[in-house]
A = this chain, B = another copy of it.
Amino acid sequence: MDTVTIKDIARKCGVGVSTVSRAMNNHPDINPKTKEMILQVIAESGFVPNNSARNLKRVDARAVALLVKGMDNMFFTDIIHTIEKETQEQKYSCILQQVEEDENELELALELVKEKRLRGIIFLGGNFAHPEELQRRLTVPFVISTIGQLEKAGGYIGGSVSVDNRKESFKIVDYLCSLGHRQIAVLTSAEDDESIGKLRLDGYRQALENRGIAFDPSLVVYMEPEIDRYSLASGYRMTKKLLEAGARFSALYATADTLALGACRALKEAGVEVPADCSVAGFDGLDAGKYYIPSLTTLEQPAEEIAEATVRHLFQLIRKKEKPRRLFFEGKLVVRESTQEYRTRGDSATGGNHGREN
């Protein structure tokens, strides 16, 4: 009975395959009696619909795990979407596993590999600064997605796919400098972070240095551990803090678009117009930034390509066709409404850039 196909059903009912399909999908264009008859035949036949090629061979499929730290980070949405889709294309199932902020993703992964079906792991988000000795415990190949490089320890022994976070961060801060801004506030991750936030902050420092601008610690807002994440709420809170401290800046660089959008709102509530009084730039290239008012200048990451390459590389590792590599993609500076040239006080309709003297 397991070999009953949709064609068998159609034949038995004396109708076409498309009519059977319509009955199954509750399509309006079908005679109710015909539909009832077809569903009755299906119910009696032991037919399990599986005519879609994508659905074949799912049974007890081998799996890869996707470990995500910071799943509410909007930037990850498309990446998770693409990774899951590409994994399905390979006829593997994808086990999504969240890693809480205080959890160790490597410990979690070591537990997961005990699962027999597991063939590979993708790590997304967080700070993958684990000693090489422990990484070697992972008996399946793994790829770190979106981070790129690590300062500590021996780096990864797995593959890695990302933009060069330091270089791309340099690019957008240099763009702000090119507009004439010299007092550029920055919202970044927690002070002890060794991951993306650190790399982007390094890029910020290098860009200032390259332009001969001194690094001013009073313009840096770090996330508070336990409280902040890459979210609009954090960007809002961090910017409030900056304003309350009386910091002077004509531009604000948020190391993630989520933070930048929250920052715009905090500035607005403080009566600071973006971009007239303060330019704001983000990082990531979220869709939300495109539709925000003002639309957001950002450094766009090729999220879909990064996700696709992550899966492709993992399967090359699983099939032993490649050694672990570090793949880098280029980001793209996207200039929108939230940034403009620095003007000295009095130039602009709103009385000059925020907090900037002269």
Contact = CB atoms under 8 A, between A and B. Distances in A.
Interface of A: 23-26, 28, 35, 39-40, 42-43, 48-52, 54-55, 58-61, 71-72, 74, 77-78, 80-81, 84-85, 88, 93-98, 100, 103-104, 107-108, 110-112, 114-116, 129-131, 133-134, 136-137, 152-153, 192, 194, 231-233, 235-236, 261-262, 264-265, 268, 287-288, 290-293, 295
Contact of A81 (B49, B71, B236, B268): B71
A236 B291 contact: yes
Contact of A39 (B43, B134, B262): B134
Contact of A292 (B42, B48, B115, B293): B293
For the complex formed by this chain, how many copies does it contain in all?
Answer: 2
Given A77-B71, A77-B72, A88-B98, A42 B114 contact: no
Contacts of A54: 100, 103
A126 B127 CA distance: 35
B107 A52 contact: yes
Given A49-B107, A77-B74, A84 B112 contact: no
A58 B26 contact: no
A291 B264 CA distance: 8
Name the 6 nearest CB pairs between A and B, nearest first: A96-B96, A265-B291, A232-B291, A59-B114, A39-B133, A49-B107
Contacts of A194: 26
9 contacts: A26-B130, A49-B134, A55-B108, A60-B116, A74-B74, A231-B287, A232-B288, A261-B292, A293-B293
Nearest to A56: B111
Contacts of A88: 97-98
B48 A110 contact: yes
A58 B110 contact: no
Given A55-B108, A110-B48, A231-B287, A131 B24 contact: yes
Contacts of A292: 261, 265, 292-293
A99 to B, nearest CB: 10
A264 B287 contact: no
B72 A78 contact: yes
Contact of A112 (B42, B58, B232): B58
Contacts of A52: 103-104, 107
A262 B291 CA distance: 6
Nearest to A290: B232
A85 B98 contact: yes
A43 B133 contact: yes
Nearest to A287: B232
A192 B24 CA distance: 16
A62 to B, nearest CB: 12
Nearest to A152: B26
B39 A131 contact: yes
Please indicate which of the listed interface residues A107, A152, A291 has the most CB atoms of chain B within 10 Å of its own CB.
A291
A95 B98 contact: no
Nearest to A60: B115
Given A50-B111, A261-B292, A265-B292, 5 more contacts: A59-B111, A74-B77, A88-B98, A264-B291, A292-B293
